[in-house]
Chains A and B, each alone.
Chain A
């Protein structure tokens, strides 16, 4: 049972990590928690679902389409809801409130247009199971886990090795100075949202395949947010570590303590980190920037 619990925890944690990356990316640059990220994940899942069911595309194209779709939605979201606040140098609390409004707006938009029905993706991988000793794990979970690792590694390389990545990191440390040095901040922030949206698209498709697609599915990002805080908001390796730690801890609590106690545990962990270690496991000093 121990090994099975560990495997299950890691596979849940992989998805948390994928979602937490979106929070951390935006937080690292704009220093606010983008609570609309969950809604973008949900919309990404719907984009993927439409491509899979209406156009009968294969898994690769569905994933690519969902990444593009959610990326564009995230950029539009920033343009409509945050950019004017940002230009007026509004406190990050205002951005956060705007983000919450966006989440509710987007959810209700889907309710009003597509409806509240539940949908499932076609079975891309059948129900293939890989056995490890007496434990087993589905092929999809292994795939999702490896893909999440690869995507986060790719993003890490992009941010540390490319010119745009360096510009983003410069923006993280000092946005005003960065714009004085001739960096186009609007473009930079659009790229950050495009990347965060792309990750939302991946997370949306994997969540949709694993579970179901429906308007309030974005609430799972509560967990991703906790993962981001545990790992250290604003840190990419932290998002990965936080996601995996949370996934494993939750699964062990469910298995060895009580499944009903799981969320009590997760949220206690969140509060404990906020109080005693607000920078998380791997986060750098993240005091509010003025």
Chain B
């Protein structure tokens, strides 16, 4: 009995000590894929955040307090992402960075909303991350520093029609992913609007490996371009299988392609493919960041996540400064009204109507397998 009492006392002391300690730090949650298919980006994202927070804390922190991350691995899995969100809420964080993937972000948003904790996602580009799909109203606690999919899909379609001269388009997408499904829709709409025709729109299920049945169907229709809004893994396999079937169409992808893995996995089959990205290593705006990251970790950051995560952190820091408090509702209000702040990727203004940035451009990159890089092709600020 005495032993139990003593242990209880020890636990209580630790809890109080912890609470006392927590008073002089600001705890910010980070929900990120450190393992699983998106771990390359997730790990790079975590490194970039650690690098930046060191600088912020070195300069005195925010509101006179140091920032501390509470980081959990969501394994790029919807169920796990919700578990992580609940855990972050019970840990008492004042704001959250992530998740990076639209499906996980959409699943996590209601949890943070009920708890009144602002969430700033990193690269989740689906419109319904910040807009409630049922009510059509903006989610008061969800924000992002990246462009959204209608813009991305339109950029891809416009590039295909005007720059590649494509008339017949085909789409291969993952029917189990919010990201892929919506991008397929936005691309199709914009491609048709620009005067092209979609000759085939084929789906596969998440985790499927073989797309040759779908691609074989496309082959007879001879599309000029195949739009593949998937992650680097599926894109690489689709590219290999398309070339095996003798399909010569230009392959076109989205920001989920942008990992060195794409070249490693896709090999010669993916060479010459184009994709839309949020950031480019050659972008003059991020050269300082790239150099700093290389000096710290001995390798290049896996874009775009590290840049977008830093943008999210800077948004939260600026929001805290503006609100002057860690109160969730006041912080959310400050975030919604951020104007002309300087983030890693450039200037940033948030639109209070939909909590999306007003001025984030999209870049088109081309896969260059021989040199193992992505070549900068062009940059779109708008698609008007």
Contact = CB atoms under 8 A, between A and B. Distances in A.
Nearest to B247: A136
B217 A1 contact: yes
Interface string A9-46: 10010000000000000000000000000000000000
A219 B243 CA distance: 25
Interface string A117-131: 111100100110101
A5 interface: yes
Interface stretch (B140-148, B262-270, B284-292): B262-270
A137 B207 contact: no
Contacts of A263: 205
Interface string B246-276: 1000000000000001001111110000000
Contacts of A9: 213
A251 B205 contact: no
B40 A4 contact: no
A141 interface: yes
Contact of B244 (A116, A138, A250): A138
Contact of A129 (B214, B246, B261, B268): B246
B216 A212 contact: no
Given A4-B219, A8-B213, A260-B205, A116 B36 contact: yes
Nearest to A15: B210
Contacts of B205: 260, 262-263
Nearest to A131: B246
Contacts of B25: none
Contacts of A136: 244-246
Contacts of A129: 243-246
A260 B174 CA distance: 10
Given A4-B219, A136-B246, A259 B202 contact: yes
B175 interface: yes
Contacts of B36: 116
A210 B205 CA distance: 18
Contact of B207 (A116, A127, A219, A254): A219
B208 to A, nearest CB: 8
Nearest to B36: A116
A141 B244 contact: yes
Contacts of B265: 118-120, 212
Contacts of B100: none
Contact of A250 (B35, B204, B213, B219): B213
B337 interface: no
A260 B39 contact: no
A259 B268 contact: no
A137 B267 contact: no
B216 A8 contact: yes
Contacts of B202: 259
Nearest to A211: B209
A13 to B, nearest CB: 11
B268 to A, nearest CB: 6
A33 to B, nearest CB: 22
A111 interface: yes
B369 to A, nearest CB: 11
B37 A118 contact: yes
Contact of A120 (B216, B219, B236): B236
Of residues B205, B212, B246, B266, which shows the largest number of chain A Cβ atoms within 10 Å of its Cβ? Answer: B212
A254 B213 contact: yes
B237 interface: yes
Interface in B180-235: 202-205, 207, 209-214, 216-217, 219-220, 233
B268 A126 contact: yes
A286 to B, nearest CB: 30
A220 B237 CA distance: 15
Nearest to A213: B265
Contacts of A123: 267-268
B271 to A, nearest CB: 10
B203 A259 contact: yes
B13 to A, nearest CB: 35
Contact of B216 (A119, A127, A141, A255): A255
Of residues B207, B211, B246, B266, which shows the largest number of chain A Cβ atoms within 10 Å of its Cβ? Answer: B246
Nearest to B217: A255
B244 A211 contact: no
Contacts of A251: 212-213, 216
A136 to B, nearest CB: 4
A8 B212 contact: yes
A17 B116 CA distance: 55
A8 B267 CA distance: 21
Of residues A118, A137, A140, A219, which shows the largest number of chain B Cβ atoms within 10 Å of its Cβ? Answer: A118
B311 to A, nearest CB: 26
Contacts of B220: 1, 4, 134
11 contacts: A1-B217, A1-B219, A8-B212, A12-B210, A111-B35, A116-B35, A118-B233, A120-B267, A127-B268, A131-B246, A262-B213
Given A127-B268, A210-B240, 6 more contacts: A117-B39, A129-B243, A219-B207, A220-B209, A255-B216, A263-B205
Interface of B: 35-37, 39-40, 175, 202-205, 207, 209-214, 216-217, 219-220, 233, 236-237, 240, 243-246, 261, 264-269
Interface of A: 1, 4-5, 8-9, 12, 111, 115-120, 123, 126-127, 129, 131, 134, 136-138, 140-141, 210-212, 219-220, 250-251, 254-255, 259-260, 262-263
